[in-house]
Amino acid sequence: MIRVAVVLGVSALLGSLFLFGLLRGRPDRDIPSNLLGRELPTFTMPLYERYQAGYGPEFAIDDHSSKPQVINFWASWCVPCYTEAPELEEAWRNHGDQVLFVGIQTQDPSRRAEGRAFLEQFDLSFPNGFDDDSAIAVSFGLFGVPETFFVRADGTLAHRHTGPVTAALLEEMIAELQP
Amino acid sequence: MVRLAAPAVVIALLIGLLAALAAAQEGVPLELETQVFEIGRKLRCPACTAESVADSNAQIAIRMRQEIQELLAEGRTETEIIAHFQNIYGDFVLLEPPKRGLLLWVWLLPLAVAALGVGLLVLYLRRWTRAASAPIEASEAELARVREALSDELPPGGTT
């Protein structure tokens, strides 16, 4: 009797674990950052030529710290980065007066031609540069691309999103970043 | 004379070239390089599935090894360097989960399961040996039935 109960109990446990695995859907894409609520490190990066007329050859985040920021990490080989690029550009065109958008090409060293093609394909008008040695990526605690960091005007991290951003998320986060 | 000198010059040039190549590869002292990989083996590569910073060739892992090297050169200890990455990435970056809080169960659960297994095994063995060595108790009626059954099976004249 006890043996039957044990076998039934173990089978029920394994069955429920199996069902949980099947039915829980897609895992949560938002990995909480350890830097949440903390001041993000400052960085300087070289910019692509098309932004140099407006921002100079080197972009220092310190020079633009009066505004909230949306910092997006991308790579030319990353398929979801192509999905989110038009959404980022549209949000930048709508909110560029309140929030600074910055694009950083990372985990994609020295692939300048591919980077330029990516920027031209979506006509990205916010400043984009490159992080060839992944130094900025590591200082931000990056896991992969795309990742987007929403930074308050005081330099503290409000939210980190892993995976492609949507127009709805951008609108929601930009509203939250407003003082 | 010139014929003899030419091969010697070529050999000397080759040795010089090899020495220059060896010197160029010795950019990082071996001891420091070993320490970098020792620390890297304790850190998870954030961009990989299950590889350490020492094993991975992902761009992020390469950068982390470079940072480890820089921090060692500054005189920082292994504990300080691991704490530096833990500060950025949290406990996720540790390949060995820390022995505290909820993660303590990761360490304690296998020990508890092993102890339970050994306990059950001992209990079962004791019961089994006790059952094997215990005298069989039977009533007179039962013994009589056994004797009767045996006498039926034995050929005439057989003994019990």
Judge residue A161's burial from the number of C-beta atoms within 10 Å of its C-beta, 0-12 exposed, 13-18 middle, 19 or more buried: buried
What SS3 class is residue B99?
Answer: coil
Chain position carrying tokens 């940072």:
B67
State the pTM of this model: 0.72
pLDDT at B27: 63
% of chain A at pLDDT higher than 90: 79
pLDDT at B5: 61
% of chain A at pLDDT higher than 70: 94
Q: Is the pLDDT of residue A172 over 60?
A: yes
pLDDT at B151: 86
What letters, b where the CB count within 10 A reaches 16 and e where it falls short, cover A33-59? Answer: bbbeeeebeebebebbeebeeebeeeb
- Residue in chain B nearest A139 by alpha carbon: B88
B56-79: per-residue pLDDT in tens? 999 999 999 999 999 999 999 999
Asked if residues A130 and A51 have their Cβ atoms less than 8 Å apart, the reply is no
Q: CA-CA distances (angstroms) from residue A118 to A53, A83, A102, A103, A110?
A: 19, 11, 15, 12, 14
A77-121: per-residue pLDDT in tens? 999 999 999 999 999 999 999 999 999 999 999 999 999 999 999
A16-55: per-residue pLDDT in tens? 878 876 766 555 456 679 999 999 999 999 999 999 999 9
Q: Quote the tokens at residue A142.
A: 């990056």
A34, A107, A140: residue with CB nearest B90: A34
B85-144: per-residue pLDDT in tens? 999 999 989 998 887 776 677 778 888 899 999 999 999 999 888 888 887 788 888 888
How distant is the Cα of A179 from the closest Cα of chain B, in angstroms?
26
- Residue A70 neighbours by CB under 8 Å, 6+ apart: A88, A91, A92, A99, A100, A101, A102, A148, A149, A150, A151, A170, A173, A174
Q: A134 and B88 in contact by Cβ < 8 A?
A: no
CA dist., res. B90 & res. A51, Å (int):
35
Q: A142 and B60 in contact by Cβ < 8 A?
A: yes
CA dist., res. A149 & res. B131, Å (int):
69
pLDDT at A107: 95
Q: Is the pLDDT of residue B9 over 50?
A: yes
Q: What is the DSSP string of B13-60?
A: HHHHHHHHHHHHHTTS-HHHHHHHHHHHTTBB-TTSSS-BTTT--SHH
Asked if residues A103 and A84 have their Cβ atoms less than 8 Å apart, the reply is no
Beta bridge partners of A130: A105
pLDDT at B23: 45
Higher-confidence position of B31 and B88: B88
Q: Residues 121 to 160 of A: which have CB under 8 A from any B CB? A: 133-135, 137-144
Q: Is A178 left (phi over 0), alpha (psi -120 to 50) or beta?
A: beta
Q: Is the pLDDT of residue A168 over 90?
A: yes
Higher-confidence position of B31 and B54: B54
CA dist., res. B104 & res. A105, Å (int):
39
Q: Is the pLDDT of residue B24 over 60?
A: no
CA dist., res. A67 & res. A92, Å (int):
13
Kindly indicate whether the ipTM for this predicted assembly is greater than 0.95, answering yes or no: no
How distant is the Cα of B146 from the closest Cα of chain A, in angstroms?
31
Asked if residues B61 and B110 have their Cβ atoms less than 8 Å apart, the reply is no
pLDDT at A122: 98
Average pLDDT across chain A, whole number: 92
Q: Is the pLDDT of residue B17 over 80?
A: no
pLDDT at A24: 65
pLDDT at B158: 53
Q: A34 and B88 in contact by Cβ < 8 A?
A: yes
